[in-house]
Amino acid sequence: MADEGRQRTAIFTDEAAPEIDQAQYDSGEGPCIEAFETQRLTRIDSTLRDGAWPAFRRAAADYGIRSTLSLPLVVDKAAVGALNFYARTEGAFSDDDVDTASLFASQAAIALANAHAYWDARELSSGLAEAMKYRAVIEQAKGMLMAAHGCDEDAAFDLLVNAAVNRGTEPNEDERGPSRER
């Protein structure tokens, strides 16, 4: 899956999988990356034969992997990841295996998309809660500046922003309060 702009193997059942996958990430190509980018499954029946993705084939063969199957994890026509199956025998994946793996991949894609949505919502909620802690203080400071300088709310906020910029602590959009025309 892609995480903060880089590809990584997030979940695996064999400790060698991330090391094998690293050959793809280092070269920028491989069956998993291809499945993710094209949203089509890829299969290598023998890593011992010449073919696409030679760096990956060598790395897989070095770990005793002889065949691979990579499926895209797609939700709403967007790839959210890819799923790899590795086997220690050549030609290990039949058409029935591909059908079964495809069913699993479609369910895994939904689970992954839901996990992403959950963590995004949690992060947003946390950020909003943090912003709300400071909102009352900002509103009080604006009120004090309005009284002291005889200015309106926008001018008071501008004074706060300028003071924050000078101190290197500019408020973010959530702390600014309701959007106003300037």
Instruction: Specify the CATH number for the domain of residue 30.
Output: 3.30.450.40
Instruction: Give the three-state DSSP class for 92.
Output: coil
Q: Is residue 111 part of a domain?
A: no
* 15 and 89 inside one domain: yes
User: Which of 72, 93, 114 is the endpoint of a domain?
Assistant: 93
* 56 and 8 inside one domain: yes
* 82 and 142 inside one domain: no
* 8 and 68 inside one domain: yes
* 14 and 70 inside one domain: yes
| 147-167 exposure pattern, b = at least 16 Cβ within 10 A, e = fewer | eeeeeeeeebbebbeeeeeee
Q: What are phi and psi of 87, to 5 degrees?
A: -135, 150
Residue 157 CA to residue 155 CA, distance in Å, equals 5
User: Which of 37, 72, 93 is the endpoint of a domain?
Assistant: 93
Q: Is residue 109 part of a domain?
A: no
* 86 and 37 inside one domain: yes
Q: Is residue 139 part of a domain?
A: yes
- Centre a 10 Å sphere on the Cβ of residue 11 and count the other Cβ atoms it contains: 11
What pLDDT sits at residue 169? 60
* 130 and 88 inside one domain: no
Q: Is residue 155 part of a domain?
A: yes
- Match 């495809």 to its residue by tokens: 102
Token pair of 26, please?
């280092």
Q: Is residue 101 part of a domain?
A: no
β-partners of residue 79 are: 74
User: Which of 93, 110, 140 is the endpoint of a domain?
Assistant: 93
* 8 and 54 inside one domain: yes
Residue 33 CA to residue 9 CA, distance in Å, equals 11
Domain count, the chain: 2
Type of residue at 146? M
* 56 and 130 inside one domain: no
* 82 and 129 inside one domain: no
Which helix (H) or strand (E) segment holds residue 174: the answer is helix 173-176
Q: Of 29, 72, 36, 71, nearest to 51 (Cα)?
A: 29
- Residue 41's domain comprises 2-93
pTM, rounded to two decimals: 0.64
> What is the distance, to the nearest Å, from the Cα of residue 144 to the centroid of all Cα atoms in its chain?
43
Q: Is residue 58 part of a domain?
A: yes
Q: Is residue 149 part of a domain?
A: yes
What pLDDT sits at residue 171? 56
pLDDT-flagged residues of the chain (< 50): 179-182
Q: Is residue 157 part of a domain?
A: yes
Give ∠ CA 116-37-97 in degrees, rounded to 5.
85
